[in-house]
Amino acid sequence: MENVIIAKRLVELRGVRTQKEVAESLGISISALSMYEIGQRIPRDEVKIKIAKYYGKSVQDIFFKQ
C-alpha cells in the first residue's frame, strides 16, 4: 500500500513532464522511474534525495508522509 501512495505522489509531481525528461535530469533510467511510478520499486536513498531536490520537496514529504 505504501508503494502505491508514493507512486501516486511521484506521478503527480511529474505533472506534464515526460518520464524521459525527469529520468535524464535525475541521472536514472526511464525504466527505473517507471517502476517507481507504478509502485514496483522504491528508490535507493541517494535517488530519493535527487528526486526531492528536483521537485523542490523534502524526502520526508515525498516518501514518508502518510
Tell me: the pLDDT tens digits for 4-27? Answer: 999 999 999 999 999 999 999 999
Helices (H) and strands (E) in the chain, counts: 5, 0
- How far is Cα 22 from Cα 65, in angstroms, rounded to an integer? 22
Domains in the chain: ranges and CATH: 2-64 (1.10.260.40)
Query: Scanning the structure block, which residue is given the C-alpha cell 515525498?
Result: 62
Confidence (pLDDT) at 6: 95
Strand boundaries in 1-66, DSSP class E: none
pLDDT at 65: 83
Question: Among residues of the chain, what percentage have pLDDT more than 70?
Answer: 98
> Can you give the pLDDT at residue 1?
63
Amino acid at 2: E
Record the pTM.
Answer: 0.92
